[in-house]
Structure 1
């Protein structure tokens, strides 16, 4: 599931309107709609705010948001999978 789809799912399950969340984020409703549709990227601060507003785990939402960012960056690269495996190894070695 992509970030925007998750935001829409959470919003709808709580009976919230796009305009309500857009106002809380201090953006206009069309921009919020584009974030939900994946046509526009949310800023990290907005993701953190959304986690609070939607009463969901911030780490999970940020992870999904970051995964979406990475996917958009590498999706058209021929060696994306190989590169991502290398990055995973580097991250694991850094965490030790």
Structure 2
């Protein structure tokens, strides 16, 4: 997923708190080069990385996961004509 928005958000959070890339890279188990590419939206970010990323940045895991999922849906499916219907069906299935 090339997701410049989410990566840029993570980078802004990291830089705003003065946390070096190497500390976040260690937390999410990647090298700093890969982390840089993730922050630039050039490498995908796995959902399994969200919790360690939240911990490393000291941000709320729930809010970060919601942002990740929302942006992934928008990135992958925004142009689909039946997106809202698919989301509603998915919501009903999850509510069961």
TM-score range, shorter chain: 0.7 to 0.9
Structure 2 unpaired stretches of 5+: none
Q: TM-score, normalised by structure 1?
A: 0.79
Secondary structure of the corresponding residue to residue 16 of structure 1:
coil
2:89 is the counterpart of 1:84: no
Give the equivalent residue in structure 1 for 2:72: 69
2:33 is the counterpart of 1:30: yes
User: Following superposition of structure 1 onto structure 2, how do residues 16-55 of structure 1 map, counting pairs within 5 Å?
Assistant: 16-55=19-58
TM-aligned CA deviation for residue 11 of structure 1: 0.4
Structure 1 unpaired stretches of 5+: none
Contact 2:28 2:49 in 1 (8 A): yes
Give the equivalent residue in structure 2 for 1:93: 92
CA distances 1:29-65 after superposition (whole Å, capped 9, x unpaired):
1110111111111112211101111111112111221
Q: How many residues align?
A: 92
4+ runs deviating over 3 angstroms: none
Secondary structure of the corresponding residue to residue 20 of structure 1:
helix
Answer 1 or 2: higher relative contact order, Cα 8 Å, separation at least 6.
Answer: 2
Distance 1:14 1:23 in 2: 17
